[in-house]
Copies of this chain bind each other. A is one copy, B any other.
Amino acid sequence: MAEAATTDGGAADEAAFLAAYDPRDYEPVAVTVDVVALTIRPLDTAATSSAAVKPAATTTESAADDAVPALHVLLVRRGQAPFAGRWALPGGFIRATVGPDGSRVEEDLDQAAVRELAEETGLAASLDRRAADRRLGRVYLEQLATYGTPGRDPRMRIISVAYLAFAPDLPDPTAGGDAAAAAWVPVASVDRAEMAFDHARILADGLERASSKLEYTPLATAFVAPEFTITELREVYETVWGQPLHAPNFHRKVLSAPGFVEDTGATTARGGARGGRRARLYRAGSARLLHPALLRPAQEEAQ
């Protein structure tokens, strides 16, 4: 051990002299990456109601103004056993690619998550390696947890690294990509008991993490357009937390947290559809943490 301690940090140098681990010392495992991708979009009442009947709005706002925003999760319907026909989180095995010089290039876990999300949504992956966080276009991505209980896949031992993604309203996945069976599903209408594998548990963990992150980070801004109103921001909180918030107090709390939002000076082009004042437009500020935090209203617990 003495020689290694004196040659400083020569991990790459050492590698050439190292034999591989004895294959008897470990057992190879299949590793997958699953993504809990969340977005906020209007409930799709169009498919069941009068979308074609309603005259199209003259503005660029295609969504109905009276649409109810709801939290959606990206799910794929499995085409094969096990759990064929059930909803599952998008994901897949981590890969290795063959580089231009013929060498094998292993895929980073974060890269795999970005790739899976891009494949399902049809969006081009644009990994911003300068930022501390991984971004797919305007999608924020972070690691959630790893699930490896034996038997979670009935066929073989699979360890799954789950990621959590926050996205502004994205196009329907069927518009592009290769996952014809993928869709944004309202979280409230997901039948958790019918989900494949342990994905209901992963989804629940992702939702709890998302709710928690809204409290002490400015991540709510990842769900809205680059310029947004305080009301739009409040709707993010109300949608994720599932309860209405006091609008005047929310307004003040957002503006009192330094670096949360930044005034653009502009306002919306017009007020609400049925009248109302124009709203000031903000963009995301530079803070990474909120001080003071926006705590969830205290839950009523059984005393």
- A residues apposed to B, CB below 8 Å: 1-5, 9, 11-12, 14-15, 17-21, 25-32, 77-86, 93-96, 105-109, 143, 145-146, 148-151, 154-157, 159, 161, 193, 291, 298
Contacts and interface: CB of A to CB of B under 8 A. Distances in A.
A282 to B, nearest CB: 21
A31 B160 CA distance: 11
Given A81-B4, A86-B4, A29 B27 contact: no
Contacts of A17: 81
B5 A85 contact: yes
Contacts of A29: 28-31, 94
Nearest to A79: B1
Contact of A81 (B9, B14, B155): B14
Contact of A30 (B28, B109, B154): B28
Nearest to A13: B154
A264 to B, nearest CB: 22
Contacts of A82: 4, 11, 14-15, 18
A193 B79 CA distance: 49
A11 B105 contact: no
Contact of A146 (B1, B79, B143, B157): B143
Contacts of A193: 9
Given A14-B83, A106-B150, A108-B148, 15 more contacts: A4-B82, A4-B84, A11-B83, A12-B154, A15-B82, A21-B156, A26-B93, A28-B30, A31-B148, A106-B151, A106-B157, A109-B146, A109-B148, A159-B159, A291-B298
A131 B210 CA distance: 25
Contacts of A2: 85
Contacts of A3: 84
A76 B229 CA distance: 53
Given A26-B30, A106-B150, A155 B93 contact: no
A107 B159 CA distance: 11
Nearest to A193: B9
A99 to B, nearest CB: 12
Contact of A150 (B79, B108, B157): B108
A297 to B, nearest CB: 12
Nearest to A149: B108
A155 B109 contact: no
A85 to B, nearest CB: 4
B83 A159 contact: no
Contact of A155 (B5, B15, B105, B150): B15
Contact of A107 (B19, B150, B161): B150
